[in-house]
């Protein structure tokens, strides 16, 4: 809105020209989203506490978690509000990618909300069944992928990190592939969200990384110079990613150890899906395995643990999956697990950025 209201004034006042620039708008989009979270956070924590939207903590997990019972959850509502508000203010709203990204985030947020809500209302119940959740996620992700596919000139070629000429084109099969990327990311972030700040930290890092990729892919000359797939109009997604990163830091303010609020499924499913969606829009789908490598490691630890458990009829690889529980049970203090996992996420983000040159 700010872009649409103020940029046209540049013909009278040259200073308003600055609103044209993606870089300028990205900076303010991230600050706006941060401020929305920061200012509304205490109010939201109070409201959720008043409404008794407090976390139920399973008693079969690490014992340290029992003291977290009652912490307000569903803080994802705060993150989504901040990203939507800031994106509406700072992006070019005629850009289709912006609406696709917002739809994906809000849609997955609603699925998570339904799950959290059922859990809160029925208290000890575990929300939606896994099958219901997965079906809803796939249908929504297919819709999102289809919308991207329909954007004129949107390429169905898949970029493979470290290879500049190898770009396989699955044609229409790109749609289920893209849906898989979105659903996979959504669930991997959900699995990671089990310690204070453990999910939102790496989500913020990944959003910052994709901000750079979106800017590069949306800039025809830079994309050509770096030989990455150009995506016309995708630089507006850099502004969206900046809002996501800003909201992430704003939420971390309250979710940092010891957390005053958890994001809930409304947060984890929507944040993961947002990353999956920007990976699709920026044509860096496979790179998400590296950018969001921490989420992949957590998800793989669950797959390995469950697989081994079933195969050996009850034996385990880790003390408990997902991986963060393994380290907690080994005696690492929670903040140590969190910060070390952030360090890994940051290193993976740097390696991902090196693929701009290493190809």
Task: Give the residue with the Cβ less far from ligand 57M, 54 or 176.
Answer: 54
Task: For the segment 231-290, give every residue that binds ligand 57M (CB under 6 A).
Answer: 255, 259, 262-265, 267-268
Distance CA 245, CA 236 (A): 15
- 58 scored as a contact of ligand 57M (CB under 6 A): yes
Q: Which residues, 6 or more positions from 250, have their beta carbon under 8 angstroms from its beta carbon?
A: 33, 34, 35, 36, 37, 38, 41, 78, 79, 82
Task: Give the residue with the Cβ less far from ligand 57M, 185 or 211.
Answer: 185
- 302 scored as a contact of ligand 57M (CB under 6 A): yes
Task: Give the residue with the Cβ less far from ligand 57M, 4 or 67.
Answer: 67
Buried-state track 155-178, b at ≥16 Cβ within 10 A, e below 16? ebebbbbeeeeeeeeeeeebbebb
Smallest distance, ligand 57M to C-beta of residue 324, A: 9
Distance CA 133, CA 53 (A): 21
At CA 141, angle to CA 349 and CA 118, rounded to 5?
100
Task: Give the residue with the Cβ less far from ligand 57M, 236 or 298.
Answer: 298
Handedness of CA 223, 227, 228, 230 (dihedral sign): positive
Distance CA 113, CA 127 (A): 10
- 60 scored as a contact of ligand 57M (CB under 6 A): yes
Task: Give the residue with the Cβ less far from ligand 57M, 159 or 255.
Answer: 255
- Strand, helix or coil at 174? helix
Smallest distance, ligand 57M to C-beta of residue 232, A: 36
- In the shown chain, the binding pattern of residues 177 to 216 toward ligand 57M, with x for contact by CB under 6 A and - for none, equals -------------xx-xxxx--------------------
Task: Tell me which residue has its CB nearest to ligand 57M.
Answer: 61
Q: What are phi and psi of 54, to 5 degrees?
A: -105, 150
Distance of CA 125 to the CA centre of its chain: 26
- 68 scored as a contact of ligand 57M (CB under 6 A): yes
- 54 scored as a contact of ligand 57M (CB under 6 A): no
Region near ligand 57M per CB under 6 A, out of 32-40, 272-280, 282-290, 317-325: 317-325
Binding site for ligand 57M (CB under 6 A): 55, 57-58, 60-61, 65, 68, 73, 190-191, 193-196, 255, 259, 262-265, 267-268, 302, 305-306, 309, 316, 320-322, 325
């Amino acid at each position: 809105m700010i872009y649409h209201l103020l940029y046209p004034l540049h013909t009278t006042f040259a200073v308003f020209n600055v609103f044209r620039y993606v870089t300028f708008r990205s900076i303010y989009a991230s600050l706006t989203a941060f401020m929305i979270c920061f200012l509304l956070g205490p109010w939201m924590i109070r409201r959720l506490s008043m409404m008794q939207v407090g976390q139920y903590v399973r008693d079969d997990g690490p014992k340290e978690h029992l003291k977290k019972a009652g912490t307000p959850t569903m803080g994802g509502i705060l993150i989504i509000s901040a990203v939507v508000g800031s994106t509406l203010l700072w992006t070019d709203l005629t850009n289709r990618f912006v609406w696709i990204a917002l739809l994906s985030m809000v849609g997955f947020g609603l699925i998570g909300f339904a799950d959290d809500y059922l859990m809160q209302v029925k208290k000890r119940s575990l929300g939606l069944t896994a099958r219901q959740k997965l079906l809803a996620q796939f249908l929504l992700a297919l819709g999102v992928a289809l919308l991207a596919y329909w954007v004129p000139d949107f390429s169905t070629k898949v970029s493979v990190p470290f290879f500049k000429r190898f770009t396989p084109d699955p044609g229409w099969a790109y749609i289920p592939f893209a849906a898989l990327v979105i659903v996979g990311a959504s669930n991997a972030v959900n699995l990671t969200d089990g310690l204070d700040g453990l999910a939102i930290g790496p989500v913020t890092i990944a959003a910052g990384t994709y901000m750079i990729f979106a800017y590069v892919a949306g800039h025809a000359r830079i994309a050509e110079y770096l030989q990455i797939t150009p995506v016309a109009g995708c630089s507006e997604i850099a502004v969206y990613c900046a809002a996501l990163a800003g909201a992430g830091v704003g939420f971390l303010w309250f979710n940092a150890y010891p957390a005053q609020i958890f994001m809930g499924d409304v947060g984890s499913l929507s944040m993961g899906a947002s990353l999956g969606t920007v990976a699709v829009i920026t044509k860096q789908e496979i790179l998400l395995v590296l950018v969001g490598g921490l989420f992949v490691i957590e998800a793989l630890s669950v797959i390995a643990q469950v697989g081994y458990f079933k195969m050996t009829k009850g034996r385990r690889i880790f003390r408990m999956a997902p991986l963060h529980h393994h380290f907690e049970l080994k005696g690492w203090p929670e903040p140590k697990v969190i910060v070390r996992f952030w360090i890994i996420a940051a290193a993976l983000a740097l390696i991902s950025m090196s693929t701009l040159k290493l190809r």
